[in-house]
Structure 1
């Protein structure tokens, strides 16, 4: 209902149907806009039916123009909602796009950090430590001094950098999953921004009425005169009855 009664709907309807000229609004007058709004709003009524549908009623001297105005408003409602949806979808897309781009940068930073440790020979921390430890035990049993020294140096590197490596590795794995999630959301947001659906379903388009829905001015005046006459007649009857009662009491 707020959209139906919005300034945007009214102004666009007035513009599209040239209602300023049709209503003979003098734009040279200081309050012509207020007059236009008064005439426009006075001729149009919005109702919610028991089935939650919106009913647009337009009263006009021309049945054809009344139908045009009603159908124009119905069409503009859909356009307005789609424009609002488009703006919201584009904002959502821009927000997800920024988060996605920021996530790519963050994942790349983590990947660069991992490369530093990989250059030191740390590729698969747990399995490498297990393998080097077994090899060291064998080398000690066999008394291979050079092998022992080499393996101890490798294990020292793992002991020194292993904790940081596993931290970056696990974080990198988690953030890659987050990036995949954001990528799917970005695709959804892009689809929402590019595929706007209609929000209205017209049950019945407005058609020119066969008869005027408003009583003729002469009929209104006649009813007013008859009502006044009837009230006067009733008043005289009451007055006469009171006079008769007073006379009876005096007798």
Structure 2
């Protein structure tokens, strides 16, 4: 298309609009009146926002019982921590507790007995409650409601419930691990008790420390022989022979019980670590800004609704008139 053709088309379009200017004005006024009425009928909603940073979900017990600490509980969480917290904020656990606490069935005027009531409530909740990541790595929880105080209360409760749910999940997971550690610890302690009983029987037979006892008896035996006391030497030899009968059993038990004591110490440490994780409540986020009741409505933006409605109506009317004009010209030809 040449520039001259484009100019002719633009001129034709302007001429077309000018010839029907009164019609366009009437349509614009009508659209403005109707959209204004609709905008005025729309319910005002107030927005409250909570801003928070996720914390890293590290083991608390590790900070107390491990000599080398790989993580810092006071640092800010990474993107993965924020995404995990965001999943909790958008979870059904929090949604159902908010719905129950604020009786949103009544607040949103939804009949629970009607078909699709749950889906309708979920849609209404999602349109008024939103949680998302910001470009700064923080999380914003936005709540819209016709009551500014309720919007602020709901936003703050959602942040509080995120802590509660995150702690519950962590405590439950640590509780299971603590149960495994406890059963393993009890098993090792039972093994130690059994070995201590066997060693006690050997102590009763006079076997206390085989290597030390044999070394001492050898010295006594050599001394008795050297000093010419064959009777004493024979007694010592019999005593060594009697002790030697329990040598393998004593040495085996000594090695096993030493290893068992080491395992017991490790399992005790793990048990205490898991117990601390299972019983301790730690914040899942640093709240930067708590929600406060808004003193100005957030939506609807009535002037924008009117402007967009008038503009879209005018464009639609222009396209409809152009189509009608083209059909008219085609029928004439």
TM-score (norm 2): 0.64
Correspondence for 1:206: 291
Worse-superposed segment, 160-169 or 185-194:
185-194
Quote the Cα distance in structure 1 between the aligned partners of 2:203 and 2:149. 79
- Cα deviation for residue 42 of structure 1 reads 1.7
**Does residue 71 in structure 1 map to residue 156 in structure 2?**
yes
The root-mean-square deviation of aligned C-alpha atoms, in Å, is 2.7
Quote the Cα distance in structure 2 between the aligned partners of 1:222 and 1:68. 34
2:102 to 6, 14, 17: 17
- Cα deviation for residue 118 of structure 1 reads 2.0
Correspondence for 1:27: 112
Quote the Cα distance in structure 2 between the aligned partners of 1:43 and 1:92. 39
Correspondence for 1:164: 249
Correspondence for 2:82: none
Worse-superposed segment, 82-91 or 163-172:
82-91
Worse-superposed segment, 224-233 or 142-151:
224-233
1:95 to 180, 187, 196: 180
Correspondence for 2:269: 184
State the secondary structure of the residue aligned to 1:2. Answer: helix
Quote the Cα distance in structure 2 between the aligned partners of 1:218 and 1:119. 99
Change (3 A) 1:172 1:84: same
- Cα deviation for residue 143 of structure 1 reads 3.9
- Cα deviation for residue 172 of structure 1 reads 1.3
**Does residue 43 in structure 1 map to residue 128 in structure 2?**
yes
Where do 4+ consecutive residues of structure 1 move more than 4 Å? 216-219, 231-237
**Does residue 220 in structure 1 map to residue 305 in structure 2?**
yes
TM-score (norm 1): 0.83
Structure 1 segments unaligned to the other structure (5+ residues): 241-251
Structure 2 segments unaligned to the other structure (5+ residues): 1-85, 326-333
Correspondence for 1:133: 218
Say which structure, 1 or 2, has more relative contact order (CA 8 Å, 6+ apart). 2
State the secondary structure of the residue aligned to 2:120. Answer: helix
**Does residue 152 in structure 1 map to residue 223 in structure 2?**
no
- Cα deviation for residue 76 of structure 1 reads 1.1
Quote the Cα distance in structure 1 between the aligned partners of 2:202 and 2:150. 78
1:196 to 281, 284, 308: 281
Quote the Cα distance in structure 2 between the aligned partners of 1:227 and 1:31. 33
Change (3 A) 1:178 1:135: same
- Cα deviation for residue 218 of structure 1 reads 7.4
- Cα deviation for residue 227 of structure 1 reads 2.5
1:54 to 139, 142, 145: 139
State the secondary structure of the residue aligned to 2:109. Answer: coil
State the secondary structure of the residue aligned to 1:197. Answer: coil
Worse-superposed segment, 216-225 or 102-111:
216-225
- Cα deviation for residue 57 of structure 1 reads 1.3
- Cα deviation for residue 23 of structure 1 reads 0.2
Quote the Cα distance in structure 2 between the aligned partners of 1:26 and 1:5. 24
Worse-superposed segment, 228-237 or 180-189:
228-237
- Cα deviation for residue 24 of structure 1 reads 0.4
